Amino acid sequence: DQQVKQNSPSLSVQEGRISILNCDYTNSMFDYFLWYKKYPAEGPTFLISISSIKDKNEDGRFTVFLNKSAKHLSLHIVPSQPGDSAVYFCAADHYGGSQGNLIFGKGTKLSVKP
């Protein structure tokens, strides 16, 4: 049973517009969430994270929102740029869980068109 779900396999956005990538989770024990970005033929790279004690974290063009009651988080990219075209993975962790075992979603492929 998937604990971290990214229900949109792909998303296409026009350059300059907002990209919104969604992630849902089922395990109420999760208290820390991360987003990783992956380009083809490369390993994922860390993008942004958020603790469950917050509902928003911002880093430049990237903002992550957390809605604990809905068990939902989203990544906003504003404005979107062609270089943002990549696969975005949502990941979750819970305090006291296996030290290395982030639970990853299946990813959403973002395409930003010029």
Q: C-alpha angle with apex 47: 108 to 3, nearest 5 degrees? A: 50
Out of 44, 73, 85, 110, the residue judged to bind other proteins by CB under 8 A: 44
Given the rule CB under 8 A, which of 12-20, 43-51, 53-61, 69-77 is the region that contacts other proteins?
43-51
CB of 63 within 8 A of CB of 78? yes
**Measured between alpha carbons, how far is 60 from 50 in angstroms, rounded to an integer?**
15
Given the rule CB under 8 A, which of 53-61, 66-74, 78-86, 92-100 is the region that contacts other proteins?
92-100
**Measured between alpha carbons, how far is 96 from 71 in angstroms, rounded to an integer?**
19
Binding site for other proteins (CB under 8 A): 4, 9, 32, 34, 36, 41-46, 49, 89, 91, 93, 95, 98-107
